[in-house]
Chain A
Amino acid sequence: MNARTSTPPRNALVVVSDLEALTAFQTALASKGYVVTVARDLPTALLATTQHYFDLAIVSSRLGEGGDGWPLAGVLHLVFPRAFIAVLTPGEPDVVTFQSAINNGVSEIYDQAKGPSEVVSNILSHANEANGGATSVQ
């Protein structure tokens, strides 16, 4: 048996302004065994970072009136440096999108047009690939 067998991350934060999408992400993650905290704006998300430890975060780059998701991703990277941080972006990512992702410590970006179930599956796949420490919970 592999001594480094990974355990999937268990605590997830989802920050999406659209209620329907938020619920869908919550459901998809809960079905994978996560305890999910949700927020629709920056203040609620920041408050959650003071109350919980997160192994995984899914943040929309555009939170509407709720704020900009990129700096929130940067804060999450600083507070939870071992967390897998995914950002949902509209359309095909351009250079500026990739630059924002890199400079804010984002692990991966995903097209927000994809369904939450598909995004969650991709995130879990990426998170496990990145494991070797980055996202595991011992």
Chain B
Amino acid sequence: MPRKPSLLIVDDEVSVARTLQMVFEQEGYKVAAAHSCSEALHLLHNGGRYDAIITDLNMEQPDIGLDVARAAGGLSPRPVVVICTGYASSENSRTALELRVDYLATKPVDLKELVPALNRMLCHRRDLRAWK
């Protein structure tokens, strides 16, 4: 039986994180949640490994979600990284492109787009690893 894909959701709005958690658990994901960038970084720096990370952008500080993306980029294998934000700007979205973030979703998040997009990216990543 294939293992469940693991997902870390990072959002300082507990209700948003909880909603995403329920949605993705329903989709068959094993979901963990962090409610700040520092909590997420603590997980990542202490052996937490996830197939995908969905992070808010503005938490303790504006654009600090980019730090989560940066930390994820240093992991091997690199998780799929999705940023969800209501505060996208040319500057932070350029940085997200430079960090090779996989998906940028604007809030309010359209789950009919986000869920299949994440499923597709994970399948693609899995196929690539299978080829190696």
What residues make up the interface of A, taking CB atoms closer than 8 Å to B? 78, 81, 92-95, 98-99, 101-103, 105-106, 108-109
* A103 with B104, Cβ < 8 A, contacts A95-B90, A98-B96, A108-B97 known: yes
In Å, the complex CA distance between A93 and B88 comes to 13
Contact at B128–A95, with CB atoms within 8 Å? no
Q: Is the CB of B89 within 8 A of A101?
A: no
- Known A-B contacts: A94-B90, A99-B88. Give 12 more (CB < 8 A): A81-B128, A92-B90, A95-B88, A95-B90, A95-B93, A98-B88, A98-B96, A99-B106, A102-B96, A102-B102, A102-B103, A108-B97
Map CB proximity to A onto B97-121 as digits: 1 under 8 Å, 0 otherwise.
Answer: 1000111101000000000010000
Most buried by B among A98, A101, A109: A98
Residues of B within 8 A of A (CB): 88-90, 93-94, 96-97, 101-104, 106, 117, 124, 128
* Contact pick for A98, options B97, B117, B124, B128, CB 8 Å: B97
Distance in Å from the Cβ of B69 to the closest Cβ of chain A? Answer: 11
Contacts of A81 on B, CB cut-off 8 Å? 124, 128
Interface pairs (28), CB distance under 8 Å: A78-B124, A81-B128, A92-B90, A94-B90, A95-B88, A95-B89, A95-B90, A95-B93, A98-B88, A98-B90, A98-B94, A98-B96, A98-B97, A98-B104, A99-B88, A99-B93, A99-B104, A99-B106, A101-B97, A102-B97, A102-B102, A102-B103, A102-B104, A103-B103, A103-B104, A105-B102, A106-B97, A109-B97
Contacts of B93 in A (CB 8 A): 95, 98-99, 102
Measured CA separation A6–B102 after assembly (Å)? 25
Whether A102 contacts B90 by the Cβ 8 Å rule is: no
- Which residue in chain B gives the minimum CB-CB distance to A81? B128
Which of B89, B93, B103, B117 counts the most chain A CB atoms within 10 A?
B93
| A73 shortest CB reach to chain B, Å | 12
Q: In the complex, what's the smallest C-beta–C-beta distance from A36 to chain B, in angstroms?
A: 25
User: Whose C-beta in chain B lies nearest to the C-beta of A100?
Assistant: B104
